[in-house]
Structure 1
Amino acid sequence: MLIGHMKEIVRHPVKSFSGESVRKSKIMDYGLYGDRGHAYLDESKKQNFLTITQFPEMVRYKARYIGEELLDEYPEVEVITPEGKIYDWEDEELIKEMENKSNRKISTIEYPPSHVPIGPIAVENIQLVTDASIDYLQEIWGEAEVDFRRFRPNLFISLKEKKPFIEEEWIGKRIKIGSEVEIELVGHCKRCMIITVNPDNAERDSSLHKTVIKERKNNFGVYASVIKTGDIHVDDEVHLLD
């Protein structure tokens, strides 16, 4: 059954940095190619990941892959700072800037393109949200426009029937994207303070999280596991499988 189309595909080459919207992506066993393939570690926290939770301005740093996407080696990872400077993700000047802003000692970690483990990827392989759910949340929040990037999904689906939160009814079922990829919806996405951070200016507004807690029991979006790998594209049809 046709349920919609792929509206946007987003991967995050560096964990907690702003992701890149791509026209197509390989779907690996672990999710989108290179998603959270690189991360910064907070050395003051026994090498825990440095994230937006500790350093909200991370959301204003943009990361993207530049070059051919090989299965044994990543392309170059380019970072654009909030001030518009461009660095390689491991550039010492970039790391020093982030250390000064966050008041933390930072190191780096990279995972191979063939396998990004649970850890840098939060729970399951892929996170999915729908346009109808975003639109409805904006209505009940009643504040500024709800930018879907606050929720850091990989897949943003435009529904044929605009029924808010219908994705939660798909839990336990499989969907097919394009001609190759199949994923299985496995559970709700519990939300944290990260959704309070505006992706453009890093300003925080706790009222959005309070709305999600009150109206949706702190659930928004769903997680999925990869069943069949392959390529997906923006505008691909999305089908719910029997």
Structure 2
Amino acid sequence: MLPRFGGSGATISGFHRLVVQEHDVGASEAEHLVHGIWFYPVKSMRGHRVDSIFVGEHGIPGDRGLALFDVQDDRPASAKQASRWGNLMDVEVHLEQERGGEWPCPVILEFPDGARYSSSDPGIDDLLSRRFGFPTTLGAAAHDQPAFFDLAPLHVIDRGTMAHLEQLHPDSAPAIDRFRPNLLIDFPGSTGGFVENEWIGRRIRIGVDLVIEFTRPCSRCIMTTMAQGDLPGDPAVLKTLADHNALVLGDGGPSPCLGVYARTITTGTIGTGDLVVEESP
């Protein structure tokens, strides 16, 4: 059994360079839809796109439910610490069984050099420790802190925002994988251009049952610029956000932002193509 740790406060393989089609978002457009759903079994590693998924009280079961830990300081690994951990976003994560049942289910970590490590192997911690050169363990989130997300259990991006970013940053079409959302949707009334900023405190219903409330903009960091899979490094994408959508969050200075965090109000199963409508509080 994997050791369990508290939350961090803070692909299964498959890579998706989103091509956002221009679309008319005028009054004649009646439907706003879900266009993509992702979850990330291991914090800071590659994600998996699915057609449908259950969203619970604490977000998507199994999303960021595992993390590597430096045993010496009991802190979860982050792709931001590349000097210590290398590029974790180049690590693919494969499920050893179909989704369903208890989480975490066994996973296989596949590194770029082809090395594969199964979480069900009793010796995985020794293997990982030899790989990284210091005591390392693969741990599961504690039951009372069910995931190693940074600030909120759900991360949502508007499709029009991605189209707008492509216009601002045409030299390298931004891939949705750089921003690691759980959901890519059409926000009701979206006209593109970082519309998520206007949705803090508001709610949407997705499909039949799921209702989520948006809590704060998502500030971006160096992870958006890092190479992963067939995506090259792209330092300019973060500068583009800093130039066009820097927001003051809390007591800090302006931060480059894209997307929005959310929490679950009513749980439910959702799928690609589901309707998205604004929900009154």
Q: Is the 8 Å Cα contact of residues 212 and 220 (structure 1) preserved in structure 2? A: yes
Q: Aligned partners of 1:113, 1:138: CA distance in 2, in Å?
A: 40
> Match of 1:67?
98
Q: Highest CA radius of gyration, 1 or 2?
A: 2
> Match of 1:238?
276
> What's the TM-score, normalizing by structure 2?
0.75
Report the AA paired with residue 139 of structure 1.
Q
Q: Where in structure 1 are there 5+ consecutive unaligned residues?
A: none
Q: Aligned partners of 2:204, 2:186: CA distance in 1, in Å?
A: 14
Quick one: which of 123, 145, 150 aligns to 2:178?
A: 150
Shift of 1:232: 1.0
> Match of 1:108?
138
SS of corresponding position for 1:4: coil
Q: Aligned partners of 1:97, 1:215: CA distance in 2, in Å?
A: 44
Shift of 1:138: 2.0
**Residues 1:47 and 1:126: Cα distance change in structure 2 (over 3 Å):** same
Moved more, 130-139 or 212-221: 130-139
Quick one: which of 56, 61, 64 aligns to 1:36?
A: 64
Deviations 1:29-51 (A, max 9, x none): 1111110111101235x121111
> Match of 1:183?
212
Q: Is the 8 Å Cα contact of residues 46 and 89 (structure 2) preserved in structure 1? A: yes
Q: Aligned partners of 1:116, 1:151: CA distance in 2, in Å?
A: 22
> Match of 1:14?
42
Shift of 1:122: 0.8
Deviations 1:111-164 (A, max 9, x none): 2678515xx111011000122111211221232120111111111114575522
Deviations 1:157-180 (A, max 9, x none): 145755222222121110011101
**Residues 1:131 and 1:152: Cα distance change in structure 2 (over 3 Å):** same
User: Percent identity of the aligned residues?
Assistant: 24
Moved more, 90-99 or 18-27: 90-99
Which residues in structure 2 correspond to 1:81-230 (within 5 Å)? 81-89=111-119, 91=121, 99=129, 102-111=132-141, 116-117=146-147, 120-158=148-186, 161-201=190-230, 203-217=232-246, 218-230=256-268
Q: Aligned partners of 1:115, 1:215: CA distance in 2, in Å?
A: 35
> What's the TM-score, normalizing by structure 1?
0.86
Moved more, 186-195 or 157-166: 157-166
Q: Where in structure 2 are there 5+ consecutive unaligned residues?
A: 1-28, 247-255
Moved more, 183-192 or 49-58: 49-58
Deviations 1:58-116 (A, max 9, x none): 1111224323511x443322333324454323647766675566554321211267851
Richer in helix (by share): 1
CA RMSD in angstroms comes to 2.7
Higher relative contact order (CA 8 A, sep 6+): 1
Shift of 1:57: 2.0
1:53 aligns with 2:80: yes
**Residues 1:190 and 1:40: Cα distance change in structure 2 (over 3 Å):** same
Q: Aligned partners of 2:208, 2:114: CA distance in 1, in Å?
A: 39
Q: Aligned partners of 2:132, 2:115: CA distance in 1, in Å?
A: 18
Q: Aligned partners of 2:120, 2:90: CA distance in 1, in Å?
A: 17
Q: Aligned partners of 2:124, 2:87: CA distance in 1, in Å?
A: 14
Q: Aligned partners of 2:230, 2:121: CA distance in 1, in Å?
A: 23
Q: Aligned partners of 2:112, 2:58: CA distance in 1, in Å?
A: 30
Q: Aligned partners of 1:230, 1:30: CA distance in 2, in Å?
A: 12
Q: Aligned partners of 1:83, 1:92: CA distance in 2, in Å?
A: 22
Q: Aligned partners of 1:163, 1:62: CA distance in 2, in Å?
A: 32
Q: Aligned partners of 2:161, 2:220: CA distance in 1, in Å?
A: 15
